[in-house]
Structure 1
Amino acid sequence: MLRALSRRQFSGSGAMPRLMLESDTAILLSLPVTPVQMNQALLGCKKSGEACIIDAGDQTPQRWVDAASAHGLTITSILQTHGHVDHVAGLAQTKELLGAEVKIHACKEDWAIFKSAPMQGMMFGIDCPSPPPIDVEIGEGDEIKVGEHRVQVLHTPGHSPGHVCFYVESEKLMVSGDLIFEGSIGRTDLPLCDGQAMMASLERIKRDIPRDTTLFPGHMGVTTMGKEIDTNPFLR
């Protein structure tokens, strides 16, 4: 199980992705990026040395390659929870740097949102180039291998039609994107949001995800499923 490291030790954005969670077999690095402080993440398998970037918002991707290398890892895939601009602002630069063999995994139901990212950027003060096409379409029930870890895809629409969470059962970890935050949830007032679908997705994870699962959200701090069930007003 991934263990959360000291918040005091790792507070602040810093210049390089920082080690946030660690177990005997996995590590998770993170750095808040873009003006809205989106938590980009890198999940690595210690045994194989393979790693994935989750939500490529950072327009300076070389530091992710350097951080991965410092931990003995090589980035082999890019996973996207959804297509909003803060989560894809650096996708074009990241894909160009890593090369064609590193595939972008995303849900096709969000492709219209991916394509609108430059326009979204104008609203939020983010200069975003057009994202490259999705290489691998993913959806409910799919599994993505990151070294020896099986990353399960959970389709959790609401914040966007094709929003997904990434669940690693062996590590008791879920990267929740903009579905659920510490004490809050993602917005449902943007184009193509669906408040009813969001509530259904929240009920689904409340039912299906164990309480001792660590939640790594797209914004704000690390939390647990149990804490959110007990204290998050949107799950009570």
Structure 2
Amino acid sequence: MTDVTNLAADVRAFTSNAFLVPGERTVLVDTGANFDVVSRIESRIDALDAVVLTHTHRDHVGNVGAVCEAFGVETWGYDPEQPAVDHELGATAHIGDHDYDILHTPGHKNDHICLYAPAPKVCFAGDLVFADGAFGRTDLEEGDREALIRSIDRLRETVDPDLSALHAGHGPSATTDAYATIERAGEAARRR
């Protein structure tokens, strides 16, 4: 299992989760918004190696400038044409102590990705699916319900049925029945 801390767990402001993943390459997955994430990072580690963004909605990238300035790091995401993205992700990214497969999963936003590490069976799902089996909004700009359903199906087909943790962009992480969470989200997206 990977040692992951959600730095936004107790924040009451409008923000996404911001996951600190320490290890060989210490990475922040999404920066959140509207809270002091820098001090929360500094209270846990001395240095940060990179920021990886699941997508570029404001609640996920609002703290990018502060984090990059404080730690002298750059950001990685799907679309380097987005202002918050310095570099385009390839097929994999080393995060913490593991290699994560990069899955392009549009539907919530065109530049949305999920990150999946087969070795520890951990997934960062952004706003594609959530721990309660819900799914990301498709009523925002670039939202597309059919694309979202295809993306959920792709994630379900990619991850191991013994998925140990699914870290979502909002709310709690799923650490029991994580694979079933993806299945429920796919079913719910088809019904609504």
Identity score, percent: 27
User: For residues 112-191 of structure 1, what are the structure 2 equivalents within 5 Å?
Assistant: 115=83, 131=84, 134-139=85-90, 142-146=91-95, 148-182=97-131, 183-191=133-141
Q: Which amino acid aligns with 1:105?
A: W
Partner of 1:22: none
Task: Please state how far the C-alpha of 1:231 moved relative to its aligned partner.
Answer: 4.1
Selected match of 2:167 from 206, 216, 219: 216
Partner of 1:76: 49
Task: Please state how far the C-alpha of 1:176 moved relative to its aligned partner.
Answer: 0.3
Task: Please state how far the C-alpha of 1:51 moved relative to its aligned partner.
Answer: 0.9
- Distance in 2 separating the partners of 1:231 and 1:159: 17
Change in CA separation of 1:225 and 1:235 when aligned onto 2, cut-off 3 Å: farther
| Paired residue secondary structure (1:171) | coil
Point out where structure 1 has 5 or more consecutive residues left out of the alignment. Answer: 3-25, 116-130
Larger Rg: 1
Q: Which amino acid aligns with 2:69?
A: E
Task: Work out whether 1:107 is the aligned partner of 2:61.
Answer: no
Task: Please state how far the C-alpha of 1:160 moved relative to its aligned partner.
Answer: 0.4
- Distance in 2 separating the partners of 1:109 and 1:34: 30
Point out where structure 2 has 5 or more consecutive residues left out of the alignment. Answer: none
- Distance in 1 separating the partners of 2:62 and 2:117: 25
Deviations 1:173-217 (A, max 9, x none): 000000000220010000111111101001111222112211110
Change in CA separation of 1:65 and 1:97 when aligned onto 2, cut-off 3 Å: same
| Paired residue secondary structure (1:108) | coil
CA contact (8 A) 2:121 2:159 kept: no
TM-score, normalised to structure 1, is: 0.70
Selected match of 1:61 from 18, 37, 48: 37
Deviations 1:32-59 (A, max 9, x none): 35733421101112xx3x3100101244
Task: Please state how far the C-alpha of 1:108 moved relative to its aligned partner.
Answer: 1.0
- Distance in 1 separating the partners of 2:184 and 2:108: 21
Partner of 1:5: none
- Distance in 1 separating the partners of 2:95 and 2:15: 25
- Distance in 2 separating the partners of 1:34 and 1:164: 25
Change in CA separation of 1:178 and 1:110 when aligned onto 2, cut-off 3 Å: farther
TM-score, normalised to structure 2, is: 0.84
CA contact (8 A) 1:82 1:110 kept: no
Change in CA separation of 1:64 and 1:41 when aligned onto 2, cut-off 3 Å: same
